[in-house]
């Protein structure tokens, strides 16, 4: 990791009144020596060949956001891979597989369910609605064996993340959103479309980047991952290229103007309310 990027990140954290260093996501052919990830399981191809046995698919279920929750507590990496995915949704959103059979299973599970899987999550009214979402997000294929996310200060010299993610409450998110708008000079540079937590961290920002759009993605709409976030906490992800521009723009942004100081005081009150050091 470039030392200057870490220094600038600390300056941003100080300006926001936020104390948790953001995570960076990268693809790698090396499994982290230490970290949190799913147990080895069937690959998606093997699962298809075996007829998507639901009992086998959910035998070692692990939510990627759940692994990240542990990684945040212990300041360590979290990861997912083609044969260590824990959740077929996570495998899809991180670009490891996208078979029609897998998409149909996800569509049923997230909507109205099926006799073999129960009533479903009911986040969509029909499997067809969920399939339209899956066709829209189209995660880019994973370029390496592992999708790894870890605190920025754990990146080695010369190692760069593709994406940068903040976990923060609304006042800090307000500052990050405003900085994004200021940097891009665009009214639609922060997206908050429906997406599972891991998709908002990986699939949506990479999909937008592949379309030539540098934008932030606000992850707030997945009830399943709320248990792995602090109360009132949200997920805010930007591609590294935009993040570097935001750091450059920060000195001239509202974060150094009087209006932000009112919000900054609320950040401190929030920290105190939740017994988190300011």
Reduce the DSSP state of residue 146 to 3 states and report it: strand
The whole-angstrom separation of Cα 155 and Cα 143 is 18
Q: What is the pLDDT along the chain (278 residues), one digit of tens a residue?
A: 688 999 999 999 999 999 999 999 999 999 999 999 988 766 666 666 666 666 666 777 889 999 999 999 999 999 999 888 888 899 999 999 888 888 988 999 999 998 877 899 999 999 999 999 999 999 999 999 999 999 999 999 889 999 999 999 999 999 999 999 999 999 999 999 999 999 999 999 999 999 999 999 999 889 999 999 999 999 999 999 999 999 999 999 999 999 999 999 999 999 888 887 54
Q: Which two tokens stand for residue 176?
A: 């990050």
Could you read off the pLDDT of 183-198 as tens digits, one per residue? Answer: 999 999 999 999 999 9
The whole-angstrom separation of Cα 231 and Cα 146 is 30
Q: What angle do CA 239, 10, 76 make, to 5 degrees?
A: 70
Q: How far is CA 171 from the centre of its chain?
A: 19
Placement of tokens 């990791």 in the chain? 1
The whole-angstrom separation of Cα 98 and Cα 142 is 11
Between strands 146-151 and 190-191, the pairing is: unpaired
Q: What is the pLDDT of residue 168?
A: 97
Q: What is the pLDDT of residue 51?
A: 65
Could you read off the pLDDT of 24-72 as tens digits, one per residue? Answer: 999 999 999 999 998 876 666 666 666 666 666 677 788 999 999 999 9
């Amino acid at each position: 990791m470039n030392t200057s990027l870490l220094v600038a990140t600390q300056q941003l954290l100080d300006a926001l009144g936020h104390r948790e260093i953001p995570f960076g996501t990268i693809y790698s052919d090396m499994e982290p020596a230490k970290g949190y990830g799913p147990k080895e399981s069937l690959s998606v191809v093997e699962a298809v060949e075996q007829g998507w046995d639901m009992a086998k698919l959910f035998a070692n279920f692990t939510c990627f956001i759940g692994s990240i929750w542990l990684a945040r507590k212990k300041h360590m990496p979290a990861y997912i891979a083609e044969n260590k995915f824990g959740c077929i949704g996570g495998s899809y959103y991180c670009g490891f597989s996208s078979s029609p059979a897998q998409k149909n299973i996800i569509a049923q599970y997230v909507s109205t369910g099926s006799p073999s899987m129960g009533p479903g999550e009911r986040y969509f009214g029909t499997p067809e609605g969920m399939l339209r979402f899956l066709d829209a997000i189209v995660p880019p294929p994973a370029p390496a064996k592992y999708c790894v996310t870890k605190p920025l200060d754990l990146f080695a010299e010369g190692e760069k993340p593709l994406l940068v993610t903040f976990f923060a409450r609304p006042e800090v998110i307000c500052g990050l959103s405003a900085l994004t708008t200021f940097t891009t000079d665009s009214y639609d540079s922060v997206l908050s479309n429906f997406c599972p937590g891991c998709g908002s961290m990986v699939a949506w920002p990479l999909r937008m980047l592949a379309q030539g759009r540098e934008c932030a993605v606000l992850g707030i709409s997945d009830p399943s991952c709320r248990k792995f976030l602090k109360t009132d906490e949200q997920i805010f992800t930007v591609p590294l290229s935009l993040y570097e521009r935001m750091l450059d723009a920060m000195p001239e942004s509202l974060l150094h103007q009087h209006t932000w100081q009112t919000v900054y005081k609320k950040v401190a009150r929030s920290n105190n309310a939740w017994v988190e050091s300011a």
